[in-house]
Structure 1
Amino acid sequence: MPNALISPGQSSTRTCLPHAARAFDPPAGLRHKHVQSLLAGWPWRQRWLRRRSAGLLAASRDEIVDCGAGVRLLGHFSAQPAEPKGLAILLHGWEGSAEANYVVSVGGLLYDAGFAVFRLNFRDHGDTFALNHELFHSCRIDEVVGAVAAIATRHRAKRTFVVGHSLGGNFALRAAARAPALGIDLTKVVAVCPVLRPSSTTRALEDGLWVYRWYFLRRWRRSLAAKAACFPELYDFGDLRRFRTLTATTEFFATRYASFPDLGAYLNGYAITGDALARLAVPAKIFAAADDPVIPVADLADLAASPALSIDVLARGGHCAFLEDYRLQSWVDRAVLAEIEAAC
């Protein structure tokens, strides 16, 4: 049976949020979903977050991860000066990177709390276009699972956690579902506003505020141009310019460049609704916002029920934002830390 749809502000479990994460109640000026979502990526906030996360960034060292099958991904590892409480592997969203605000923000908090932190870039993200010949698409779960296994092996810790935002949360949950069968020992996974049913997210982007659609199309086209510049003998994406919608662009990309028979096959290939998480055994937590303009919260009702999975839906928070005050601090950072520390 799927989980029942959770009322905004309620938890899917009988327990309350960890005590370190008090209830999320933003001030009046920060309650609108678009204010939350857009301010989360504001450049001024980025500068402040990087100052606050100075310890994480000062300790950061670039590492190339061998994911198997010839795939290499770039990441940034921040080691603790003494034995860490655990290892946290952070996964960003589509067209984000290991330098995204939400990654640096939660990474800095985890690092300051005593965790070693590995910020992973997906293929063709974070200016890594030249590392692999083939293109990124969201069904490339094998290489992300391979990366998690390689990172956990290289940087052995008493406990290993995976934290993902948006598409990164989707990857984190899929990786958790596969981990035990592959001998990957994960302590817990936390997903913030994960992509649930990609077809619903695509519709939300098409029908919602234009700025989100514009942002993702612009970033995606820029990434594809960078990929073509690295491998001009393989790619010429000039034919993509004629498409004006995210749906049409994705359909053409999936069938022309990613070998999927149709758009539905591609989008369903990375959905975590239905039975995708039925065998989930690794403890997992989802934080979602009822007002998320990108991820329709109703799709949570179609996740397979699992005793390993708990879900907290907050009435507000936008997409991966949860800004709690006018300093633009994120409530969900502390909620993630509380979940991880509770598992230690």
Structure 2
Amino acid sequence: MPIIKSIYKPPFQFKNGFLATVYSGLVRKVNLEQQRERIETRDTDFLDLDWSYSENKSDAVIILLHGLEGHAQRPYVTGAAKLFNQNGIDAVCVNFRGCSGEDNRFYNSYHSGATDDLDDVIKHCVDRKGYSKVYIKGISLGGNIALKYLGEDRQIPKQVKSAIAISVPVHLNGSAKELHTLTNKVFTIRFRQHLVNKLKIKTIQFPDKISIAEVNSIKTLRDFDEVYTSKAHGFLGALDYYEKSSSLQFLKNVNVPTLLINALNDSFLSPECYPIKEAKQNPNLFLEMPKYGGHVGFIAKGNIYYNELRALEFVKTI
């Protein structure tokens, strides 16, 4: 599929990717009433889902997946939910394991390649809720999960009609290297602090699996993936986790119409995160690469972001 020419033009001050990223993550506010539902996963853990609804009963729902150490109340999630609700589509914002304000039951939690929980949510929407149209929108880590899910060797329910992925590190090792550059130091410190604080709770719950000394040895995000993510989820190490969980290798198999929007000035992304060849070879993969936008910072007028408008437009036209 030919590459989509982007028409995104941000306000002048937000042409700076760093400012766009920071403003969108720390300043933006979205008011949205949500209702929480807890569901059991196939391995007897739980997921907390935060629902919001359109004014009239809808047969369509969008599943929204947050990024690393996010949750279902982050504005980049609720902004999309609110827009879709206003346009006749229900929304379910997924809290990944341990991200809803309560730690999950097991030592393992969530990671960039963990797709079974998304499969459980989709089946819940179809089998329990009765939706005939399901859309998926994943942001950053959530986008990698969505893309990997769609390209895996599994049966995708026919009710899944399209997907949108925003600011996605489709090549995890390349993105990990970018995150550890000086440009992104302020972000990596914040991510690491959140992750380490949650892991300290695991040392109390599971002292036989990890010690506080091991937690204290974590100085970088890669260290975290080496010490915890890889070992807790059955990988040989951080590199093995990155290689097996990157969605890039799965893009050729995506057979559901999917829109991927990655800004060219996203400092989190490496050159491999712009899959031009894969998009040209797969008629179901639409790649848009705006010049601006930073990381999930596609600021537009009226507190509705460009990527949210594009997502709605995409599901309406497919």
| TM-score normalized by the length of structure 1 | 0.83
CA offset digits 1:10-31 (Å, max 9, x no partner): x714xx67xxxxx211122111
Counterpart in the other structure of 1:91: 65
Deviation at 1:73, TM superposition (A): 0.9
Counterpart in the other structure of 1:7: none
The counterpart of 2:260, out of the listed 266, 280, 286, is 286
Which residue identity is paired with 1:240? V
Task: Tell me the distance in 1 between the aligned counterparts of 2:178 and 2:15.
Answer: 20
Counterpart in the other structure of 2:122: 148
1:67 and 1:144 in contact (8 A); partners too? no
Deviation at 1:113, TM superposition (A): 1.1
Counterpart in the other structure of 1:20: none
Task: Tell me the distance in 1 between the aligned counterparts of 2:220 and 2:108.
Answer: 24
CA gap 1:255/1:194 in 2 versus in 1, 3 angstroms? closer
Q: Within 5 Å, which residues of 2 pair with 1:176-187?
A: 176-178=150-152, 181-187=155-161
Which residue identity is paired with 1:142? D
Counterpart in the other structure of 2:184: 209
CA gap 1:179/1:90 in 2 versus in 1, 3 angstroms? farther
Deviation at 1:224, TM superposition (A): 1.5
Select between 230-239 and 181-190 the one with higher mean Cα deviation. Answer: 230-239
Deviation at 1:329, TM superposition (A): 4.3
Residue 321, structure 1, aligned to residue 305, structure 2? no
Task: Tell me the distance in 2 between the aligned counterparts of 1:259 and 1:245.
Answer: 20
Question: Match of 1:293, SS?
Answer: coil
Question: Match of 1:110, SS?
Answer: helix
Task: Tell me the distance in 1 between the aligned counterparts of 2:83 and 2:53.
Answer: 14
2:112 and 2:142 in contact (8 A); partners too? no
The percent of aligned pairs where both chains have the same amino acid is: 19
CA RMSD of aligned residues (A): 2.4
Task: Tell me the distance in 2 between the aligned counterparts of 1:223 and 1:74.
Answer: 17
The counterpart of 1:247, out of the listed 205, 222, 242, is 222
Deviation at 1:148, TM superposition (A): 2.0
Task: Tell me the distance in 2 between the aligned counterparts of 1:238 and 1:152.
Answer: 45
CA gap 1:188/1:133 in 2 versus in 1, 3 angstroms? same
Deviation at 1:243, TM superposition (A): 2.8
Task: Tell me the distance in 1 between the aligned counterparts of 2:118 and 2:206.
Answer: 23
Task: Tell me the distance in 1 between the aligned counterparts of 2:304 and 2:62.
Answer: 20
Deviation at 1:62, TM superposition (A): 1.2
Counterpart in the other structure of 2:196: 221
Task: Tell me the distance in 1 between the aligned counterparts of 2:112 and 2:316.
Answer: 30
Which residue identity is paired with 1:322? F
CA offset digits 1:188-239 (Å, max 9, x no partner): 0101111211101110110133111111111111222344455567654442
1:80 and 1:116 in contact (8 A); partners too? yes
Q: Give the unaligned 5+ runs of structure 1.
A: 4-10, 18-22
CA offset digits 1:312-338 (Å, max 9, x no partner): 11000000111135x654221111111
Question: Match of 2:253, SS?
Answer: coil
Counterpart in the other structure of 1:12: 3
2:150 and 2:156 in contact (8 A); partners too? no
CA offset digits 1:234-282 (Å, max 9, x no partner): 65444221232222232222454433222221111211123x1222111
Counterpart in the other structure of 1:310: 286
CA gap 1:69/1:296 in 2 versus in 1, 3 angstroms? same
Which residue identity is paired with 2:254? L
Which residue identity is paired with 2:11? P
2:171 and 2:272 in contact (8 A); partners too? no
Deviation at 1:165, TM superposition (A): 0.4
Counterpart in the other structure of 1:73: 47
1:289 and 1:297 in contact (8 A); partners too? no
Counterpart in the other structure of 2:113: 139
Q: Give the unaligned 5+ runs of structure 2.
A: none
Question: Match of 2:227, SS?
Answer: helix
Q: How many residues align?
A: 315
Task: Tell me the distance in 2 between the aligned counterparts of 1:268 and 1:109.
Answer: 35
The counterpart of 2:166, out of the listed 183, 188, 192, is 192
CA gap 1:278/1:164 in 2 versus in 1, 3 angstroms? same
Counterpart in the other structure of 1:106: 80
Task: Tell me the distance in 1 between the aligned counterparts of 2:56 and 2:300.
Answer: 32
| TM-score normalized by the length of structure 2 | 0.90
1:65 and 1:151 in contact (8 A); partners too? no
Task: Tell me the distance in 1 between the aligned counterparts of 2:37 and 2:176.
Answer: 33
